[in-house]
């Protein structure tokens, strides 16, 4: 009888060990496929591991990894579901909250992203990414006072942060403080003289204050640095249109469309450039 009991427990533990080994093997295989950029195969093996041991405490990490894979495949609803499962197990995991918030932003669900970023900042008041993205959401809501507070908190922690400084410059522009916006952008350009985004940003401010000649110089430089920027051609088209150079404006609008801009979005501008 003792031999039978011993054999039973030996078989039981052997099977349990085999299951654990398979769970780890499935997880590792999934990660290998992620490294190879074989995302569909990675998803299959993550799901195999999750199905094999649905109560394993490591599943929070697997669901998070699965969410990242689905996000990279642009399956945003599935990614949110996976991140949410992970957060049900680890509700205060900052990295997972940040990932889910990022997907919400990609879907245009700023209010849901805002909730996640607020939770992150409750856990980590100096989290740079959360401060940056919450400031962006505040600016989109036209709550410029709150946006400025977050940008200032971020810059107190990271004074040279590129995105925060550019965000603050854009905020100054939106509030009509053009001199302050230009001062920030000029410092950024002096530090990053080959950054097309900065020349385009400064050109937008110059357009707002009717310095068309300077704006055209900056847009031309942006195009030289980044010839595939549809936004640069779009802005230059608008500048040409303000100078009544309709033919040149139309050429730039058509070029912007060829680079990915929506023809329907430019319908009115194309009509004005006839």
- Give the position of tokens 């195969």: 41
Considering just the CA atoms, what is the radius of gyration of the chain in Å? Answer: 26
State how far the Cα of 41 lies from the Cα of 26, in Å rounded to an integer: 11
Residue 9 pLDDT grade (very low, low, confident, very high; cuts 50, 70, 90): very low
- C-alpha to C-alpha distance for 219 and 230, rounded to whole angstroms: 11
pLDDT of amino acid 11: 41
Query: CATH 1.25.40.10 spans which residues of the chain?
Result: 1-91, 195-274
Which pLDDT does position 49 carry in this prediction?
Answer: 85
Percent of the chain predicted with pLDDT > 70: 92
**Taking all residues of the chain, what is their mean pLDDT, rounded to a whole number?**
91
Residue 14: per-residue pLDDT: 44
Residue 7 is predicted with a pLDDT of: 47
Give the Cα separation of 9 and 138 in Å (integer). 60
pLDDT at 227 over 50: yes
pLDDT digits (tens, 9 = 90+) for 161-211: 999 999 999 999 999 999 999 999 999 999 999 999 999 999 999 999 999
Range with the poorest average pLDDT among 17-31, 57-71, 253-267: 17-31
* 262 — pLDDT class (breaks 50, 70, 90): very high
Q: Considering the domain delimited by 195-274, tell me its CATH architecture.
A: Alpha Horseshoe (1.25)
Confidence (pLDDT) at 20:
54
Cα separations (Å) of 17 from 5, 9, 61, 143? 18, 12, 21, 56
- pLDDT tens for residues 22-54? 888 888 877 887 888 888 988 888 888 888 888
Average pLDDT over residues 71-76: 94
Cα angle: 211, vertex 165, 169; to 5 degrees: 30
Tell me which fold the domain 1-91 belongs to.
1.25.40
At 21, the pLDDT band (50, 70, 90 cuts) reads: low
Residue pLDDT, tens place only, 125-163: 999 999 999 999 999 999 999 999 999 999 999 999 999
Q: How far apart are CA 6 and CA 12, in angstroms?
A: 10
Range 230-247 average pLDDT: 97
Calculate ∠ Cα 62-64-65, nearest 5°: 65
């Amino acid at each position: 009888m003792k031999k039978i009991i011993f054999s039973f427990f030996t078989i039981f533990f052997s099977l349990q060990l085999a299951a654990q080994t398979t769970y780890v093997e499935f997880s590792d295989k999934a990660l290998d496929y992620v490294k190879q950029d074989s995302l569909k195969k990675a998803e299959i093996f993550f799901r195999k591991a999750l199905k094999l041991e649905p109560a394993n405490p490591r599943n929070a990490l697997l669901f998070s990894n699965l969410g990242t894979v689905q996000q990279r495949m642009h399956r945003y609803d599935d990614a949110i579901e996976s991140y949410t499962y992970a957060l049900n197990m680890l509700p205060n995991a900052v990295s997972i909250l940040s990932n889910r918030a990022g997907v919400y932003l990609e879907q245009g669900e700023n209010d849901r992203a805002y909730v996640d970023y607020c939770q992150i900042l409750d856990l980590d008041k100096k989290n740079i990414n959360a401060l940056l993205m919450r400031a962006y959401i505040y600016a989109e809501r036209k709550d410029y006072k709150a946006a400025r507070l977050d940008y200032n908190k971020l810059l107190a922690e990271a004074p040279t942060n590129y995105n925060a400084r550019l965000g603050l410059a854009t905020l100054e522009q939106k509030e009509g403080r053009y001199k302050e916006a230009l001062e920030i952008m000029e410092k950024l350009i002096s530090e990053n003289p080959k950054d097309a985004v900065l020349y385009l940003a400064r050109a937008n401010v110059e357009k707002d204050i009717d310095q068309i000649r300077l704006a055209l110089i900056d847009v031309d430089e942006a195009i030289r640095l980044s010839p595939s920027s549809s936004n640069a051609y779009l802005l230059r088209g608008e500048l040409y249109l303000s100078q009544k150079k309709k033919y040149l404006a139309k050429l730039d609008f058509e070029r912007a469309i060829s680079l990915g801009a929506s023809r329907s979005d430019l319908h009115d501008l194309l009509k004005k450039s006839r």
